[in-house]
Amino acid sequence: MTAIADTVAAQRDYFRRGETRDPRFRYEMLERLRRLVADKEEAILAALRQDLRKPEYEGYSSEVGIILDELKYAKSHLASWCRPRRVRTPLFDFPAKTVIHPEPYGTTAILAPWNYPFQLLISPLIGALAAGNTAVVKPSELAPATSELIAGLFDEAFPPEYLAVVTGEADAAKELLDQPLDYIFFTGSTRVGRLVMRAAAERLVPVTLELGGKSPAVVDRDARLEVTARRLAWGKFINAGQTCIAPDYVLAHREVVEPLLELLKNQIEAFYGTEPQQSPDYARIINESHFDRLIGLIDPDRVFVGGDHDRDKRYLAPTILRDVAWDDPVMEEEIFGPLLPVLTFEALDEAIGRINERPRPLALYYFGETDSRIRRVIEGCPFGGGCVNESVMHIVTPHAPFGGVGDSGMGAYHGRWSFDTFTHYKTVLTKSSRIDIKLRYPPYDAKKLRWTKRFMG
């Protein structure tokens, strides 16, 4: 057996012993994880800086602080989540009671991406541990400093038969997926998500897929343009655009597109100065391969602002592309970088139709003030989640689910939904053996049918 196979086998054996089922044990493990994150904050931020040149503020707010908040929420609600819940029983089953028992799946695998390499690994892990599972986690090899840090921290803090880290490249992930797992949670591209689901199908393993897609931002004619530009620019260029729910393109009403472009340009300068490469608040592209892909999407004739780049430093300026056509290369795939194409529309139904011609996006953002038009977009466009007059921030709350639909994913997590994702809800009906009503037993007759229809109709 390989090391990965040995790890999964050890976790399956440990899970069968039942220790992880105890809510007190789960609480202690979540508290241990909380202390680990809080104590190692500086080291985590340094690793993020090394991998992505992520500013300290972005590193804390989007990777460390959000995790501490999730852990606090999970710990405070864990007891109620774990408690069996009695529900009503149909009269036809009298005398009986029905109880739903939250039950962990067993040994889980969590495969994380590189763009938020700490948060997008730890956030689903909170749900897996809260639900009473063991976990094997696979950080992204494209963020080596963060991956190495996570492996070292977990090796010190947790026994591998409970929580283990697998490092390495795609072959390590493939080997992990070939093991007898009980649940798989994957965050990454739609292309790789299909491979993960194919591997899971071989063993009928349930999966959650958090993928991506081209998330639109619709700017209507009555939007408050100054705040719209500020929130769009922030949501797009945080982490140098390497965010799965970043606005992928702007679809602006023809009446407001020119002032919006100017305001976006002004906002970039307000955030990062006239030379964004010198700004301490602007991240870098993860590696040369992604850098080259992004440069290939830039049509110099479409550049309204930005376009400057330095391959050696993995720097690509915040870039806005204007007069973009729907069939331009930049509109063919998720950008995942600091390029913001701007297109126009005249009628709202036209915008909704254009969005719906494409695979369902992970997020959608609408900027405007008219309630009826807001409803038309929300009800008329399938998407994972989103905001009205805001961008990205719907991911922050532990009080609501986050997830995709269609090509942008399946399943959801955060808060209670993380616990639910890694939990099988087992229904148990307990019936008295002292009384046995013979209505449902053969031989059947008209009287039995009549009474059954009364109970069930």
Q: Which of 63, 210, 381, 387 is catalytic?
A: 210
Q: How many CA atoms lie within 13 A of 52 on its CB side?
A: 32
Q: Is 202 a catalytic residue?
A: no
Helix (H, G, I), strand (E, B) or coil at 275: coil
CB atoms within 10 A of CB 328: 15
- The reply to whether omega before 216 is within 30° of 0 (cis) is no
Dihedrals φ, ψ of 85, to 5°?
-125, 125
Helix (H, G, I), strand (E, B) or coil at 38: helix
Q: Is 244 a catalytic residue?
A: yes
CA pair distance 127, 67, nearest whole angstrom: 12
Question: Which residues, at least 6 apart from 146, have a Cβ–Cβ distance to it below 8 Å?
Answer: 44, 47, 48, 51, 117, 118, 139, 140
CA angle 104, 108, 113 (to 5 degrees): 135
Parallel, antiparallel, or unpaired for β 309-310 and 315-316? antiparallel
| H-state helical runs in 99-169 | 119-130, 144-157
DSSP 21: G
CA pair distance 113, 142, nearest whole angstrom: 8
CA angle 451, 454, 455 (to 5 degrees): 95
**Contact predicate 392/245, CB 8 Å:** yes
CA pair distance 288, 67, nearest whole angstrom: 29
Q: Which of 82, 244, 381, 387 is catalytic?
A: 244
33-36 — which CB contacts under 8 Å span 24+ positions? 33/71, 33/122, 33/125, 33/126, 33/129, 33/157, 34/68, 34/71, 34/72, 34/75, 36/153, 36/157
CA pair distance 186, 207, nearest whole angstrom: 8
Nearest to 440 by CA among 92, 45, 50: 92
Helix (H, G, I), strand (E, B) or coil at 112: coil
**Contact predicate 240/268, CB 8 Å:** no
Q: Which residues are the active-site residues? A: 210, 244
